[in-house]
Chain A
Amino acid sequence: MSPIVKRKGEKFTLPGKYLLFILTILCTGLILLTFNTNFLSTPVSAVGGAVIVPLQEGINGAGKWLSKRSEELVQIRSLIQENEQLKKQVDELTIENIKLQQDRYELTNLRELYDLDVQYDDYEKVGARIIAKDSGNWFHTFVINKGSEDGLSVDMNVMAGSGLVGRIIDVGPNWAKVMSIISDNSNTSGMVLSTSDNLIVSGNLELYAEGVIGFEKLVDSADRVVEGDKIVTSNVSDKYLPGILIGYISSINVDSNNLTKSGLLTPAVDFEHLEEVLVITQLKQSIEE
């Protein structure tokens, strides 16, 4: 007798095998659907936002309070030691300071040249707090506590300090999912600031363990790009606003095709200790109809 036929007086339950089969089909359907479209994301993210996000925010608040207290205790002990070291450092720094003052003159000149300051100030930014990080160990995505109700939308750029963190890939009413540029599946179109050569910055789980990420497809036939050069987001990117600092080149190699170069760069943002981020509420592509 078939196990799904209902017997008299017995409560009907679907056997595991059939349930597994049905749910597998459901999952496959969902994967295919969401891979190509995102029409499901609005209802799903609304439910998630209503239930999970308040919990995550609460726990984060409590956790922060606790860690602050414990930090204070640890600090007192280390402060005495630190004080001695700092006194030594003051001497060294005074010497360095003089050197730096000379450099500053050069820097102001360069800044005027690139108009970097002005560009950053032009963008309107919203501060947000990170409330959850990827539950697995494979990718560097995280959730922030602002969403469409605060005017955020998909593809907005996210910064921390002066560097690029990533962009929003999903948004709910009171939360948004951010994919960072170091995430293994992220590719960012970048540009060397000094020479305006374009390149692709790609996140890499393997490399990030050493604190760097990779870049590739740099066309630099004149050999002008050197280690230490700044990499910013490029003009041709369709998601990222131009001129946001990504990081500094730490090593550079010629590819085997002898045409392009690839190498490693150190991100400008400390991704391990991110707590607050700035979201630029201006999109690169604003559709006007």
Chain B
Amino acid sequence: MKRILVSTVLVLCCFVLQSTVFKAISFGGIVPNLMIVLAASFGFMRGERTGLLFGFFCGLLCDIFFGQVLGLYAMIYMYIGFLNGKFNRAFYPEDIKLPMALILVSDLLYGLTCYLVLFMLRGRFNIGYYMINIILPEMVYTILVTMILYPIILWIHKKLEDSEQRSARKFV
């Protein structure tokens, strides 16, 4: 219950921040992708199930407010969360290299999928331009923001884990 509440607040916070504050401090019109950071990190911290649920709801929010159809972003984010969940076994809280790499690859994957579905299918074939001007800057900016956001997410994750273990012990 507590976990659901905290997760909801976290997703809402990130979405609202991304669509307001980060738009104001964007570099060259590019904003970092907080939702990817959320979906990916909960994926490798908690496993496939949590990852895909996080991805699904993050994407759904984007769909409601900014998507042309409902469900497209939800699907992209969901798969990214799920794939990150595959790396749950290789995840150690002390290690920062794997999370960084995973988030970077996730954002690249997200960018490429968006290009493929939303642009290439409409006949915009200049992938080099979109790569250099949209996808790569977004990746760099996202990874910068991750350095600040990831410790916070990790901290929340640890606190939740601790409190759940404590309450589990109480019932035994």
- On A, residues with C-beta under 8 Å from B are 13-17, 19-20, 23-24, 26-31, 33-35, 40-41, 44-45, 47-48, 51-52, 55-56, 59-60, 63, 67, 131-139, 141, 143, 177, 184-185, 205-206, 209, 272
Contacts and interface: CB of A to CB of B under 8 A. Distances in A.
Interface stretch (B11-19, B93-101, B145-153): B11-19
B78 interface: yes
Contact of B16 (A17, A26, A52): A52
B10 interface: no
B78 A20 contact: yes
A51 B16 CA distance: 10
Interface of B: 12, 15-21, 23-24, 29-31, 33, 35, 47-49, 51-53, 56, 61-62, 64-66, 68-72, 74-75, 78-79, 82, 85, 114, 118-119, 122, 124, 126, 129-130, 133-134, 137-138
B148 to A, nearest CB: 18
Contact of B82 (A16, A26, A56, A143): A16
A58 to B, nearest CB: 9
A67 B24 contact: yes
B143 to A, nearest CB: 15
B87 to A, nearest CB: 13
B134 A138 contact: yes
Given A23-B56, A52-B61, A33 B16 contact: no
Contacts of B33: 135-136
> Secondary structure at chain B's binding surface: helix, strand, loop or mixed?
helix
A138 B118 contact: yes
Nearest to A60: B20
Contact of B20 (A33, A47, A48, A56): A56
A31 B30 CA distance: 27
A31 B70 CA distance: 5
A16 B52 contact: yes
- Most chain-B Cβ atoms within 10 A of its Cβ — which of A15, A20, A143? A20
A19 B52 CA distance: 8
A34 B70 contact: yes
Given A34-B69, A34-B70, A27 B19 contact: no
A39 B19 CA distance: 26
Contacts of B61: 48, 52
Given A26-B71, A56-B19, A131-B20, 12 more contacts: A19-B53, A20-B79, A27-B71, A31-B72, A59-B17, A60-B20, A135-B15, A135-B18, A135-B19, A135-B35, A136-B33, A143-B66
Contacts of A20: 48, 52, 78-79, 82
> Residue among B21, B64, B65, B68 with the most chain A CB within 10 A?
B65
B29 A48 contact: no
B65 A48 contact: yes
A45 B60 CA distance: 12
> Top 7 closest A-B pairs, CB basis?
A30-B71, A16-B48, A132-B19, A27-B71, A27-B75, A34-B70, A16-B49
20 contacts: A16-B85, A19-B49, A20-B52, A24-B75, A26-B71, A30-B74, A34-B70, A60-B20, A63-B20, A131-B20, A132-B19, A132-B65, A135-B18, A135-B65, A136-B62, A137-B31, A137-B137, A141-B66, A177-B65, A206-B124
